[in-house]
């Protein structure tokens, strides 16, 4: 059933590009495990060993704190339409804050140089294992579209409001770990 691969194969990349949602999982030895759903609109396969996603301002910033403290992260995609399949990307992640050179380079190369209002960082995952499994137990769903709520929320806050929000809500995890976001350019500590 489960198969393991040392890298993203072309068939895996095709599968990733057909999905509408993915999940990230991260933790440290002493923290809660965090799992977050995300839109694949923000996900990019850079090469056979690297994926990134453009991360928007949210109510917390657990992944950034966990990556700073530990680095382990898993991305999971599962087919909710068509043939069943679960694909997991295991590796070590890094948070690239808005305003950093790596952020600017990846934003230019992989996202056309355009970040939506509210973008706070890019997360890069260096993959050391790809695993597929059957996905027979994953229910079928119909995709009807993306939610516009996050974009409307960010527009209503404006850039200054987003900076203030991140300083209030995104500088530490729920377990008190620092995320690396500080100041108005989200510069790492």
Q: Which residues of 81-99 are buried (b: 16+ CB within 10 A; e: fewer)?
A: eeebbbbbbbbebbbbbbe
For residue range 62-108, what is the model confidence (pLDDT) as tens digits? 999 999 999 999 999 999 999 999 999 999 999 999 999 999 999 99
State how far the Cα of 102 lies from the Cα of 157, in Å rounded to an integer.
Answer: 26
28 part of a folded domain? yes
pLDDT above 70 (res 186) = no
d(CA 107, CA 101): 10
Query: CATH number, domain at 82?
Result: 2.30.110.10
Mean pLDDT (the chain) is 94
Judge whether 189 lies within some domain.
Answer: no
Give the total number of structural domains in the chain.
1
Range of the domain at 64: 3-169
Residue 184 has pLDDT above 80, yes or no: no
Instruction: Give the C-alpha separation, 76 to 23, whole Å.
Output: 5
Question: What's the rounded Cα separation, in Å, for the pair 8 and 58?
Answer: 29
CA distance 89 to 124: 12
- Kindly state whether residue 62 falls inside one of the protein's structural domains: yes
- Asked whether residue 59 is domain-assigned, the answer is yes
What pTM was computed for the model? 0.92
On whether the CB atoms of residues 107 and 113 are closer than 8 A, the answer is yes
């Amino acid at each position: 059933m489960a198969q393991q691969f040392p890298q993203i194969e072309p068939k895996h990349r095709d599968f990733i590009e057909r999905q509408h949602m993915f999940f990230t999982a991260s933790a440290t030895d002493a923290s809660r495990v965090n799992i977050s759903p995300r839109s694949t609109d923000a996900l990019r396969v850079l090469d056979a060993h690297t994926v990134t996603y453009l991360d928007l301002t949210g109510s917390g910033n657990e992944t950034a704190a966990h990556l700073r403290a530990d680095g382990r992260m898993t991305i999971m995609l599962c087919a909710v339409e068509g043939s069943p399949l679960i694909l997991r990307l295991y590796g070590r992640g890094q948070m690239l804050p808005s305003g950093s050179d790596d952020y600017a380079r990846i934003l230019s190369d992989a996202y056309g140089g355009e970040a939506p209002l509210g973008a706070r960082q890019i997360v890069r995952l260096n993959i050391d294992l790809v695993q597929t499994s059957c996905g027979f137990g994953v229910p079928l769903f119909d995709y009807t579209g993306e939610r516009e709520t996050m974009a409307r929320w960010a527009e209503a806050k404006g850039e200054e409001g987003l900076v203030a929000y991140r300083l209030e809500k995104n500088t530490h995890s729920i377990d008190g770990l620092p995320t690396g976001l500080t100041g108005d350019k989200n510069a790492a500590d």
